[in-house]
Amino acid sequence: MESIFPLFPLQLVVFIDEPLNLHIFEPRYRQLIQESEKSGQLFGIPAFIDGKIMQVGTKVRLTRIEKTYPDGKMDVRTEGVSLFRITELYNPVPGKLYSGASIQDLPVTTRGDVVSGQQILERVRTLFDLLNIQKELPENPEEFTTYSLAHHVGFSLEQEYNFLCITNEVERQQFMLAHLDQFIPMVKESNRLRKRVKMNGHFKNIIPPEF
């Protein structure tokens, strides 16, 4: 049997280069982390959506065990490295507590279109202004990839997963732009309705129309 890659399914999507802090409490994942620390082996985080493990996931690297508690629980730091696709699932891995899989590595491009990158930054600035989010954004569209913004543009979990499955940066840019062009008007309308609700109960100086 080929080498089985260890899995740590979570109800979230991890992107390449993303730092992710985890609190480890289940015995199966304590075992996985301990083995990863000893061997330096990567492990996979596939999203767990609607009761099932998704086919595409992210390889992550254990960068540090921040704290180990007396009962064996741990706080750990990890980082997304690359993408993979599950070809066969083993739950659990023979002789282990955790699940694993036979996997296929997925090549990913990170070079995007500069114009699309600028359009994304402009739209995200607009979104952040509407939501009163104070977050620094890069000025140069060549200084970021869409992965770095994917958790901040209002994607649902399912949309984040669909985004993860796109391995070409130009296509990810188009996916993000299409989402922002739909999402920003919804936020504007929500803000407008919120303001109207706040006005209820107050005297209004409204000029009646001419007819």
* Amino acid 206: pLDDT: 47
* Amino acid 210: pLDDT: 58
Q: Where in the chain is the domain with CATH 1.20.58?
A: 114-199
* Amino acid 110: pLDDT: 93
* Amino acid 198: pLDDT: 66
Assign domain 114-199 one CATH number from 3.30.70, 1.20.58, 3.40.1350, 3.90.320. Answer: 1.20.58
Inter-residue contact 22 to 54 (CB < 8 Å): no
For 196, the token pair is 């109207």
Per-residue pLDDT of the chain (211 residues; tens, 9 = 90+): 468 999 999 999 999 999 999 999 999 999 999 999 999 999 999 999 999 999 999 999 999 999 999 999 999 999 999 999 999 999 999 999 999 999 999 999 999 999 999 999 999 999 999 999 998 898 898 889 999 999 999 999 999 999 999 999 999 999 999 999 999 999 999 988 877 776 554 444 445 455 4
Helix (H) or strand (E) run with residue 49 in it: strand 43-49
Inter-residue contact 182 to 123 (CB < 8 Å): no
* Amino acid 204: pLDDT: 45
C-alpha distances (whole Å) from 58 to each of 1, 15, 46, 189 are 23, 7, 6, 35
Q: Where in the chain is the domain with CATH 2.30.130.40?
A: 5-106
In whole angstroms, what is the distance from residue 19 CA to residue 177 CA?
24
- State which fold the 5-106 domain adopts: 2.30.130
* Amino acid 209: pLDDT: 54
